[in-house]
Amino acid sequence: MFVTLTLNPAVDQALQVAGELALNHLHLIEAETNSPGGKGVNVAKVLAANRRPVAAAGLLGEDQLGFYQKALIAAGITCCFLPLPHPTRINLMFSDGQGHEMKFNRPGFPDLAFDEAALLAYARSLATPGNVIIMSGSLPVQFPPTTYALLIRLFRSAGCPTVIDTSGPALAAALTETPDVIKPNRQELESVLGKSLETEAAMHAALRRLMSRHEVIIVSDGARGAWFADRTRIWFAAAPAVACVDTTGAGDSLLGQFCADYFPARQLTPELMARAVAAGAAAVERHGTPVIPPARIHELAQQVHPTLSVTDNPPPHPSL
């Protein structure tokens, strides 16, 4: 069973405008889609499309519980959210169909106080040994940066493989608990490490610094593709060329496809990496965060050819 944990969900409202997006202009809305959002929810959609057993968990305002349940259960996803008497945020994304977009993300649950005991009690209810726990996204406003670190420690003690995709101080704190799989994008990893990773040499050095601490590292890099590393090897997989409509959820689709193929065998292969990058590319071809047809992922994966960049044993790095 996969469990995706989204502590800061959102309804993703994608709005397509007529003409080209421009500042100080009136834009007419041509199309609108509303989707249950949050990074973990997006990951769950991909897992379900691959017919993997998955439960979407986390915090959710009671105002959107019915909307989420209707959409996710229809997609084959079990809902295990902790309902809250607080409204779920609505995030806006404007696009013009020409590759231009503007995103507006509201803060999550600004009035929700952090209750460590209640959160850990809820997490224990999800921690069946062997469940793969995928923790994704930002944190509610009042939650401390150490929240994911606390959860990783709990899930690891329960015998659950852990996957983390977050950013900023929350990512830095989570890395200290050595989750099994991490998936920052390049900018997020640069922020944590405090250095540019624009060059191949800099990326190699950063990945080698982390390889002894994590089973797999994935660094997504937008339209370029993604880097992958296990304990001894580093690959780069260039993304296929696609028409970009909406980048919302692209990294989540990549991670969802990776997890669907990686667990439980836990073998990192070129075919697996190609499918993951293809899923991310397929996501940007669509508005919002819909379920991606597996046939399209398979088609795009034929255009992805991961190349081995480094193969040796890096020296251990006990700390970041």
- Residue 297, CA distances (Å) to 221, 280, 281 in order: 18, 9, 8
- Position 207: which residue type? L
* pLDDT band with cut points at 50, 70 and 90 for residue 312: low
Phi, psi dihedrals of residue 29, rounded to the nearest 5°: -80, 125
What's 207's DSSP letter? Answer: H
pLDDT, one tens digit per residue, over 206-248 is 999 999 999 999 999 999 999 999 999 999 999 999 988 777 7
Range list of H helices, 94-141? 116-126
Sheet with 29-37, side-by-side order of all strands:
29-37, 10-17, 89-95, 101-104
**Which pLDDT does position 319 carry in this prediction?**
47
**Which pLDDT does position 311 carry in this prediction?**
63
Please give the average per-residue pLDDT across 74-98, as a whole number.
Answer: 92
Phi, psi dihedrals of residue 290, rounded to the nearest 5°: -75, 170
**Which pLDDT does position 318 carry in this prediction?**
43
pLDDT greater at residue 141 or residue 33? 141
- Position 7: which residue type? L
User: Which residue is it, tokens 């060059």?
Assistant: 199
**Which pLDDT does position 49 carry in this prediction?**
93
Please give the average per-residue pLDDT across 278-294, as a whole number.
Answer: 85
What 3-state class would DSSP assign to 224?
Answer: helix
- For the ranges 145-154, 179-188, 250-259, 292-301, the lowest mean pLDDT is seen at 292-301
pLDDT, one tens digit per residue, over 96-108 is 877 788 889 999 9
**Which pLDDT does position 132 carry in this prediction?**
98
Q: Are strands 29-37 and 10-17 parallel, antiparallel or unpaired?
A: antiparallel
Q: Are 44 and 56 in contact (CB under 8 A)?
A: yes
Q: Against a cut of 0.85, is the pTM above it? A: yes
User: Which residue is it, tokens 């969802």?
Assistant: 256
pLDDT at 83 over 50: yes
- Residue 165 sits at the vertex; the CA angle it makes with 164 and 167, to the nearest 5 degrees, is 120
pLDDT at 280 over 70: yes
pLDDT, one tens digit per residue, over 139-195 is 999 999 999 999 999 999 999 999 999 999 999 999 999 999 999 999 999 999 999
